[in-house]
């Protein structure tokens, strides 16, 4: 997945939500930057790509973790790693 493709996905999510505050836009930018960094590191360390589907799934897990205040069970190592990175760097939370 190219960086531009990832940014398109995030932009699509923003458009689906309608009016977005400047603060939320900054969060999405951080989310995008962290995802690109994670994707590149994961590929270098594991020789595996981060797919669009995995990214979308991770976004759902991220929102769920914020709502239930814990990490959901039975996540892949890749999804858990990405979600934990987002929680730590964006929200200051470690589960």
Reported as a single tens digit per residue, the pLDDT across 15-67 is: 776 677 778 778 888 988 999 999 999 999 999 999 989 998 999 999 999 99
d(CA 80, CA 72): 9
d(CA 8, CA 2): 10
- Residue 50, pLDDT score: 93
Global pTM value: 0.80
- Displacement of CA 46 from its chain's centroid (Å): 18
Nearest in space to 12 (alpha carbons), one of 21, 23, 20:
20
């Amino acid at each position: 997945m190219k960086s531009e493709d990832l940014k398109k996905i995030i932009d699509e999510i923003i458009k689906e939500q309608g009016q977005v505050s400047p603060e939320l836009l900054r969060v999405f930018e951080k989310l995008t930057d962290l995802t690109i960094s994670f994707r590149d590191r994961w590929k270098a360390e594991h020789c595996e790509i981060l797919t669009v589907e995995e990214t979308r799934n991770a976004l759902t897990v991220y929102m769920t973790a914020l709502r239930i205040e814990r990490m959901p069970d039975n996540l892949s190592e890749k999804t858990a790693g990405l979600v934990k990175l987002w929680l730590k760097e964006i929200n200051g939370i470690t589960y």
